[in-house]
Structures are given as C-alpha cells and as structure tokens.
Amino acid sequence: MHTDINKLFGSLWDDYVEMTPSAAKVHQLLSKGDTIINDHIALRTFNIEKVNLAVLSAHFEALGYVDCGDYHFEAKKLKAKHFEHPDATQPKVFISELLVEEFSGELQTIIKGLVAQIEDSATSADNFLYSGRHWELDYTTYETLLAESEYAAWVAAFGYRANHFTVSINHLPGYSSILDVNETLKRGGFVLNSAGGEVKGSAEVLLEQSSTMADKIEVVFKDTQKEIPSCFYEFALRYPKSDGELYTGFVAASADKIFESTNAS
Ligand code: OOG
Ligand code: NI
C-alpha cells in the first residue's frame, strides 16, 4: 500500500498517459499550462474475492478515503462505489466490479483462470493499482469475452490501472460550461462519447459529464498484437446542493453511458 497520496496519483497518471496518448494533448489543450484539478479517477475489476472492489478500495482507504455511495448497473451486470477523501481537493475515486457469476459458464471459467494467475502478494503491493495485466491472454479469448461484456474484455486486456482521469470543470480557468469544453475538444479533433448525448446529466441532477472515446493502442496478446480501445478522458461540472456545497456523488444513469467510452465505436 502507498503511504503518499500524491505519489499514488502521480504513478496512476504516468501509467494512464502511457495507455492514453491523447490524454497529454487534451490536458495541454485545456490547461494552457495551468494546473488541472481532477474531479475523480475510475478503476475496474472483477468481483472475485482475490481482486474485488474491496481489494482495490483498501489501497485508498489506507490513505483516508471513505466509502460514500453505492451504484448498481443491472444491464451491464456491475456494481460500483465511490470514495471521497476528507481533503476535498483530492480526487474522488469511482471503483466498479463485474458481477462474474451473472455471466455464462464460459465467461466465468475464463475470468477465474485469469485471476488465478495473479500472485497472492501482488494485490496488496504498493504498485497494484497501476500494475496492469497479471495474466496471459489470447486474442480469441479477448473476443469471446467481448461478445458477452465489453467491460470484461477491457479488464482482461488492461488489468489494474486508471480507466480514466476526469477534469474538474469547476476548477478549470476560462470555462464555465461543459458545452464550451466539448466545443474546444471537438475543434481540437477529439471524438466525444455521444451515447445518450454528448452531455450526460444536467444541473437538475447536480452533475454534468462528458468524455472522449477511448484511444486505440496496440496491445500484445499471447498470439498476436491488435489495436483495441484503451482509456479515455472525462470532464465533469458539479452544481451546488441546497446547502451551497457542491454535489459530490455520481449519477447512475450518466455513469451507465460513460462506461461505453471504451466501446470500439
Ligand atoms: C466508469 C464509468 C462511470 C462516471 O464518472 O460516472 C464513471 C468506468 O467507465 O469504468 O466514471
Ligand atoms: Ni468517471
């Protein structure tokens, strides 16, 4: 486990930028050299005991993060939680897990076989949250998973790392609306996720979000190399609750569409 939050997020960011070449360009386009404040990051896993959501969240809880919300995505067969740090300037953390037992016997056997290859000591090591894949994977196995769950295929191909970072528009100099951010991104040549509309959520639900479609990078499989969707960048604008404090939760209907940023098209 890490003892230094900034080092953990620094390592997660370095790995994320390697997986997501466009992220450095988006960061540059929006920040114009200023510091960007992250609203949150997100991680994905399987609900198998060795690597479940609680195993990932333990790394954040050791740094003072607190469980602040539960989410269920029935169609995608996922559960998620979000975590906040007492220091509100630290990014929130959104962690989801695939409900493996709700899938076919074939998918369950494949996933159990991948997880079995992880060294027992690996999941509590300092670097676990940005350690990537701990197993061998054939391209045909990836495709088999893809046919049932895009999420399962993504975790199988990329393992443990940040799936996205999220720019806090509330803290982004020069922007006060998500439409302006989206316009800048599109003019810069970046492709937005349009599932459910380019802007997910609204002022009424206290959160507006948008995201790029994931980059495609060359991934090494056991038998071949293929370009597949890796990670994406998200943008979030939060609105104040009646007590004047910014809403800090997530919106399940919006999150459901954000997941689709790693779809192939
Ligand atoms: C998480 C999708 C949900 C959000 O901000 O609502 C999300 C994922 O794609 O792993 O990040
Ligand atoms: Ni997100």
Ligand 2 midpoint to CA 155 (Å):
16
Beta strands per DSSP E along 66-191 = 66-73, 78-84, 92-98, 164-168
Spell out which residues line ligand 1, taking CB within 6 angstroms: 42, 44, 94, 96, 163, 209, 234, 250, 254-255, 258-259
> How much is the pLDDT for 32?
87
- Of 149, 213, 258, 261, the one to substitute when testing ligand 1's pocket (max ligand atoms within 8 A of C-beta) is 258
Going edge to edge, which strands form the sheet with 66-73? 66-73, 78-84, 92-98, 38-46, 164-168, 232-238, 207-211, 200-202
259, HSE (Cβ side, Cα atoms, 13 Å)? 28
Residue nearest to atom 5 of ligand 1 (CA): 255
> How much is the pLDDT for 215?
98
Measured between alpha carbons, how far is 77 from 240 in angstroms, rounded to an integer?
31
Query: Any residues with CB less than 8 A from the CB of 218 and at least 6 apart, and which?
Result: 225, 226, 227
> How much is the pLDDT for 1?
81
**Among the atoms of ligand 1, which is closest to the Cα of residue 200?**
6
Measured between alpha carbons, how far is 67 from 73 in angstroms, rounded to an integer?
18
Name the residue among 11, 2, 3 with its Cα closest to residue 165. 11
> How much is the pLDDT for 33?
83
Residue nearest to atom 4 of ligand 1 (CA): 255
Classify strands 216-220 and 225-229 as parallel, antiparallel or unpaired: antiparallel
Ligand closest to CA 255:
1
Beta strands per DSSP E along the chain = 38-46, 66-73, 78-84, 92-98, 164-168, 200-202, 207-211, 216-220, 225-229, 232-238
Residue nearest to atom 9 of ligand 1 (CA): 259
Helix (H/G/I), strand (E/B), else coil: 94: strand
> How much is the pLDDT for 265?
73
Q: Which CATH architecture has domain 5-262?
A: Roll (3.10)
> How much is the pLDDT for 3?
85
Domain borders along the chain are: 5-262
Cα-Cα end-to-end distance for the chain: 36
CB 152 within 8 A of CB 98: yes
**Among the atoms of ligand 1, which is closest to the Cα of residue 251?**
6
Query: Any residues with CB less than 8 A from the CB of 23 and at least 6 apart, and which?
Result: 16, 17, 165, 215, 231, 233
CB 230 within 8 A of CB 19: yes
**Among the atoms of ligand 1, which is closest to the Cα of residue 96?**
10
Tokens 């790693």 correspond to 262
Q: Residue 124 corresponds to which amino acid? A: S
Predicted confidence pLDDT, tens digits, the chain (265 residues) = 888 999 999 999 999 999 999 999 999 999 988 899 999 999 999 999 999 999 999 999 999 999 999 999 999 999 999 999 999 999 999 999 999 999 999 999 999 999 999 999 999 999 999 999 999 999 999 999 999 999 999 999 999 999 999 999 999 999 999 999 999 999 999 999 999 999 999 999 999 999 999 999 999 999 999 999 999 999 999 999 999 999 999 999 999 999 999 999 7
Which DSSP helix (H) or strand (E) runs through 185?
helix 178-187
Residue nearest to atom 1 of ligand 1 (CA): 259
> Among positive and negative, which fits the CA dihedral 169, 261, 80, 4?
negative
